[in-house]
Chain A
Amino acid sequence: MWNWARDLTKSAEERRAERITAYVDGQMPPADLARFEAELAADAALRERVEALRLLKLQLRRLPAQRAPRNFTLDPARYGKPAPAVGRAYPALRLATALTALLFVFAAVFSLRSAGNQAPGAVALAPTSAEVAPDSAVTRLYDEPAAALMIEETVEAADARLAPPPIAAAVAVTETVGVTQTEAATLMAAEAVTETFAISAVASVTETAGVTETEVAAFVVLEATDDAAAAATLKDAPAPEPAPRVAPAVWLLIGLGVLTALLLAAALLARQRGW
């Protein structure tokens, strides 16, 4: 198939030597034969090479015949019926198994990379741990002074950048006019939402401090609710919804895994039965 490509890389001497070989072996195409014989008649060096090659072939052909030192027959008592031929189902199943397994690996890698690249997704993946043990998470963060400091700075910066002035103003207004706790909680929840956008920035800080993203998420939520109204936010606000992309990806992975296992079993069975 790739002979033409190999021919391109051959030197002129290699091509010449292969023509001599083909001629001596009687394998030269008839179209080339007349031209080569004309060259042979005109070129003494070429004739010499052809003769040398013929002599070598003769010497090789004269090597003594090698007879088998014993019979290699099989014992009928030991060998039963030969294995059945492998049918056409087996190669197809083998190929399908390999492709499905490959797809499974790609899907798994893609899902992991997507989850790793999206910090909000990480929050959504583990909201319960933040709810179950917020105190311990916050305590751990405060136990890491450098991390706590960096996180506070990042959250403040995110506040300045992301929290729109109307919300901050609204908070200030509620404090002055003495609105109900529920109304304040609603406003603070809105502020907390803006802070969640800073999680990706916080995540990079926590990588150096050795804190998990879940703990950071818990911290950010609690940090946004320092006052009593914020506490109400935690109590009243609904639990964050899981990221919508996660569930289909997991189902896809499970499906591909099951399909791979089934195809593998079928391929093994086909090989065993000779289908």
Chain B
Amino acid sequence: MDETRLIDAARRGDVQAFNRLVLAHQDRAYSFAVRVLGDPDAAADATQKAFIAAYNAINRYREGNFRAWLLRIVHNQCYDVLRRQQRHPEPSIDAITEENESPGFLIDPEASPEEQLEQTEMAAAIEHCLQALPDGQREAVVLCDVEGYDYVEIAQILAVSLGTVKSRLNRARGKLQECLRGWQELLPGRYR
């Protein structure tokens, strides 16, 4: 896929060309959104809105990292959702934990039943601890440790400095380690 050519076509109003970009990036965008928001439905809505916003703003995209530009829009959409949630708070963490304990949401279908159970428990603990982090720290750790972006891309996506990225990552990991220590009794032996 020639991304530059598709972007140029989308700029001229070729929606099908843009849709090819959507298909290439939608899993990554949704994965980021669902881990930031902790709610699959809200994440799907945010991702859809982000792609619409990206299409409308594609003429404002300059040369550079398209993936980072796209995830920046997803990040903005997620923050809109989080702001709305703060105005109308809901007991989201409990709901997320219950959701995350659902095997269909988390487990690798190729693993054995025992491994699936272990993965589910570990993943539930991590997801729970992720959701307990402040939004900025959660985004940084999801982008770096879950999605595998480097510091420069994370700084572009979150529109913060490299120093802020390092600081958020450091704090987020410290809190995650502390939180997971509280879950150790519930975790399989090999994760302790």
Q: Tell me the residues in window 9-66 of chain A with beta carbons closer than 8 Å to chain B beta carbons.
A: 14, 17-18, 21-22, 25, 27, 52-53, 56-57, 59-66
For residue A82, CB closer than 8 A to chain B, the reply is: yes
Report chain A residues within 8 Å CB of B169: 21, 25
For residue B139, CB closer than 8 A to chain A, the reply is: no
For residue A180, CB closer than 8 A to chain B, the reply is: no
Complex CA gap A180/B55 in Å reads 92
Complex CA gap A176/B176 in Å reads 104
Report chain A residues within 8 Å CB of B51: 72-74
For residue A235, CB closer than 8 A to chain B, the reply is: no
Contact check: which of B12, B23, B151 meets A71 at CB < 8 Å? B23
> Which of A17, A21, A61, A274: most chain B Cβ within 10 A?
A21
Measured CB to CB, the closest approach of chain A to B47, in angstroms, equals 6
Instruction: Give the interface residue-count category, chain A.
Output: 35 or more
For residue B177, CB closer than 8 A to chain A, the reply is: yes
In the complex the two chains form, is A73's CB within 8 Å of B19's CB?
Answer: yes
In the complex the two chains form, is A63's CB within 8 Å of B60's CB?
Answer: no
For residue A6, CB closer than 8 A to chain B, the reply is: yes
Interface of B is mostly: helix
Contact check: which of B10, B145, B161, B174 meets A61 at CB < 8 Å? B145
Report chain B residues within 8 Å CB of A64: 106-108, 119, 123
Report chain A residues within 8 Å CB of B12: 81
Contact check: which of B44, B56, B180 meets A69 at CB < 8 Å? B44
Complex CA gap A21/B174 in Å reads 10
For residue A177, CB closer than 8 A to chain B, the reply is: no
In the complex the two chains form, is A56's CB within 8 Å of B58's CB?
Answer: no
For residue B76, CB closer than 8 A to chain A, the reply is: no
Who on chain B is nearest to A52 by CB?
Answer: B177
Report chain A residues within 8 Å CB of B176: 56, 60
Known: A14-B170, A76-B16, A82-B10. A65 touches B47 (CB 8 A): no
Report chain B residues within 8 Å CB of A70: 44
For residue A1, CB closer than 8 A to chain B, the reply is: yes
Measured CB to CB, the closest approach of chain B to A103, in angstroms, equals 30
Complex CA gap A1/B146 in Å reads 28
For residue A3, CB closer than 8 A to chain B, the reply is: yes
In the complex the two chains form, is A65's CB within 8 Å of B127's CB?
Answer: no
B117-151 CB mask vs A (1 if < 8 Å, else 0) is: 00100110011000000000000010011101011
Known: A6-B167, A18-B170. A61 touches B146 (CB 8 A): yes
Q: Which of A83-91, A210-218, A240-248 contacts B (4 or more CB under 8 A)?
A: A83-91
> Which of B19, B52, B58: most chain A Cβ within 10 A?
B19
In the complex the two chains form, is B22's CB within 8 Å of A82's CB?
Answer: no
In the complex the two chains form, is B13's CB within 8 Å of A82's CB?
Answer: yes
Complex CA gap A117/B68 in Å reads 58
Report chain B residues within 8 Å CB of A69: 30, 40, 44
Who on chain A is nearest to B125 by CB?
Answer: A59
For residue A169, CB closer than 8 A to chain B, the reply is: no
Who on chain A is nearest to B169 by CB?
Answer: A21
Known: A1-B161, A60-B141, A64-B106. 19 other contacts (CB 8 A): A2-B161, A25-B144, A27-B166, A56-B176, A56-B180, A60-B146, A68-B47, A70-B44, A71-B23, A72-B26, A72-B30, A72-B47, A73-B23, A79-B55, A81-B13, A82-B55, A82-B58, A83-B56, A83-B59
* Interface CB pairs A-B, < 8 A, 9: A18-B166, A21-B173, A56-B176, A60-B126, A66-B27, A68-B27, A68-B29, A72-B44, A82-B58
Measured CB to CB, the residues of A under 8 A from B are 1-3, 6-7, 14, 17-18, 21-22, 25, 27, 52-53, 56-57, 59-76, 79-86, 274
